[in-house]
Every structure is written in C-alpha cells, then in structure tokens.
Amino acid sequence: MFGSLIQKFKDTFRKAAPGLRKIFGKIGGIFAAKIDAATIEEIEEALYSADFGVETTTEILDEIRAAYRAEKELRGQDAAKIAATVLGRVLAGSEGVFTHDPGRKPEVIALIGVNGAGKTTTAAKLAWRLRQDGLGVVLGACDTFRAAANAQIETWAERLGVELVASQHGADAAAVAFDTVQAARARGREVAVLDTAGRLHTKGHLLEELKKIARVTAKLDPAAPHHRWLVVDGSLGSNSLEQARVFHEAFGVTGLIVTKLDGTSRGGALVGIYRSLKIPVYFVGLGEQPEDLQPFSKDAYIDALFGSEA
C-alpha cells in the first residue's frame, strides 16, 4: 500500500514538472551527455518555470556552475543530483506530521485560504483520511458566506459518510465552529475539521471572521484551534507565497496543505513558501479523489523531480 502511494506521488510530480523532467530526464537519459553553458541555461529556465523561486533556483545554478567549472566532465545526472541535494537542504524540516493528541477533546483543525484553493474538498478528504486512521471526525461547514458552499460540503460528507455540522446560509460562521467543536466533544469524537470561507484575503473582514472563529472555539478549549492550516493552490506559483504571507501574518498559520499538484507544471511553489515562512507542509492534493490527499514526503517529492529513474 505504502509503495503504491509513493508511486502515485512520484508519478504525479513527474507529470507536474514536465519542463524540469524533460531537461534532466533528457540529459540523464543520455548518460554520456555533458553539461555545457547551453544546458545550464535550459536548466535555469526549467527551474524558473517550475516556480522554485529565485533564491533556490540561484543556489542550484551556482552549485551546478561551480561543479561545471571544477570538472568539465559534469553529466546531466550529476547536475540533477546537485539540484536534489540543494532542495533537500532547503526543505529540511518541511514535513508536517499529524498525530492526534488524545488530551485534546477534540483536536481542532481550521482550514483557511482564499476561494478556490481547495479548502472544502480538502476538509472532506482530510476527514475521510483521519477516519481511515481510526479517528472520529466531525466536519464543520463554517463557510456560511457562499450559498453553494453548504450543498458542496453536504454532498461530500454524505458521499464519504462523515458527520457534518452545518447551518443556514448567512449564519454566523463562528457559531457553526462553536457548534462543531461542541458536537465533537459531546459525541466523543477525536477531531473537528472546520471548513471556512475564503473571500479575498485582501478584505480585512475575512481575517476578522477567522479570528472570531478562533476566539469562539477557544472558549471550549483555550488552545483551540490547535491547527491553523492554510490551503493553497499549488498551481498558482509565486502568488501563493504572497497569500501565505498575508494569512500567516494575520492568523499564525501552523501548517500548509498544497492542492492541485496534479496537472500543474509549477509544482515548485511549496519550496518558496517553506523557504520563506518555514511552515511545514502536512498534506498535498494530488487529485480529486479522497485518497488523493497524501501526507507530504520531502524525499518522494525530490526524487520525483530529480530522480534519474523513468
């Protein structure tokens, strides 16, 4: 099971960064191919278009160039190895690991982020995954702003057989959060997952609402919400770093979930976010099925991008 999950992870990232795979794959495939100035330029372009960010890209290139100067026989595979090493260094400590703390009754996870990031889908998938791990979960439909939001999360909850606390459209989001946490406690469930609204982060109102959710759940447990996980669309490139900054400053983000890494050629954005903000990545979204929410594995990610096997 574990092996096939890792395989899915790798397959997805191989698809996710085609430019990068192509450049290293091509050179790596022809083992005899030497690195020259033109290839280094191609590598540079591929790294930029995959959205690793300026700092990481520069670091990788500097090291490749230094190796190239030192040793004219540098091969594509050597360059890929250098890139993997740099990325390994940049991503040190980036894997968030969720283990339920039984002292928290319930443990409260608030999912936040802009509209369309994937919060609602992720909330459902996360609830499903935690249930697979043997935990009782109650989902809270705290996006009371959009009329369609309740219907969407209800459909998911029904499909996955997850308990849901919802309210009328337009109701107070913080009240739904309170009810969710209270319901989880009353029913002896281990985790409450709060889906929230995501109007533009530039509107102060949304951040106020999130703060209110936090204040209200803290009435039931001063440490709640224990997790404030930001859901970001991994295909947005450097925009997602800006979003992460805004939410982090206002709300103290404790973890990241990066969605839509399937079907994007810019799978590198999480590197820039982690590098700048040091927020660990807990899960990545690799598709639209419940099992497509996967714990983040730094090594699988790096291997998928820079590993030499096909």
Ligand X SMILES: Nc1nc2c(ncn2[C@@H]2O[C@H](COP(=O)(O)OP(=O)(O)O)[C@@H](O)[C@H]2O)c(=O)[nH]1
Sign of CA dihedral 55, 56, 62, 66: positive
Least separation in angstroms between residue 193's CB and ligand X is: 13
39, 56, 120, 150: residue in contact with Mg ion (rule CB under 5 A): 120
Name the CA radius of gyration of the chain, rounded: 21
Rule CB under 6 A: which of 42-71 touch ligand X? none
235 is a contact residue toward Mg ion (CB under 5 A): no
Return the number of the residue (262 or 303) whose C-beta is nearest ligand X.
Answer: 262
Cα(181)–Cα(189) distance, rounded to whole angstroms? 9
**163-165 vs 281-285, strand pairing mode:** unpaired
Least separation in angstroms between residue 275's CB and ligand X is: 22
121 is a contact residue toward Mg ion (CB under 5 A): no
Cα(97)–Cα(232) distance, rounded to whole angstroms? 18
Given its phi and psi angles, is residue 216 left (phi above 0), alpha (psi -120 to 50 degrees) or beta? alpha
25, 76, 106, 113: residue in contact with ligand X (rule CB under 6 A): 113
122 is a contact residue toward Mg ion (CB under 5 A): no
263 is a contact residue toward ligand X (CB under 6 A): yes
Q: Which stretch binds Mg ion (CB under 5 A): 7-15, 114-122, 241-249, 251-259?
A: 114-122
Q: Which stretch binds Mg ion (CB under 5 A): 128-136, 141-149, 202-210, 253-261?
A: 141-149
163 is a contact residue toward ligand X (CB under 6 A): no
Q: Which stretch binds Mg ion (CB under 5 A): 97-105, 112-120, 261-269, 274-282?
A: 112-120
Cα(224)–Cα(143) distance, rounded to whole angstroms? 18
Q: Which does 285 bind (CB under 5 to 8 A by kind): ligand X, Mg ion, none?
A: ligand X
Cα(112)–Cα(120) distance, rounded to whole angstroms? 10
Q: Which of 238, 265, 257, 233 is nearest to 14 (CA)?
A: 265
Q: Which of 253, 244, 275 is nearest to 53 (CA)?
A: 275
Return the number of the residue (143 or 179) whose C-beta is nearest Mg ion.
Answer: 143
Q: Which does 29 bind (CB under 5 to 8 A by kind): Mg ion, ligand X, none?
A: none
Q: Which of 170, 180, 273 is nearest to 231 (CA)?
A: 273
Return the number of the residue (29 or 116) whose C-beta is nearest ligand X.
Answer: 116
CB 214 within 8 A of CB 109: no
Q: Which does 263 bind (CB under 5 to 8 A by kind): Mg ion, ligand X, none?
A: ligand X
Q: DSSP letter at 291?
A: G
Rule CB under 6 A: which of 174-203 touch ligand X? 198
267 is a contact residue toward ligand X (CB under 6 A): no
290 is a contact residue toward ligand X (CB under 6 A): no
For helices 76-90 and 298-306, angle between their N-to-C axes, nearest 10 degrees: 160
Contact positions vs ligand X (CB under 6 A): 113, 115-121, 198, 231, 259-260, 262-263, 285-288, 292
Contact positions vs Mg ion (CB under 5 A): 119-120, 143
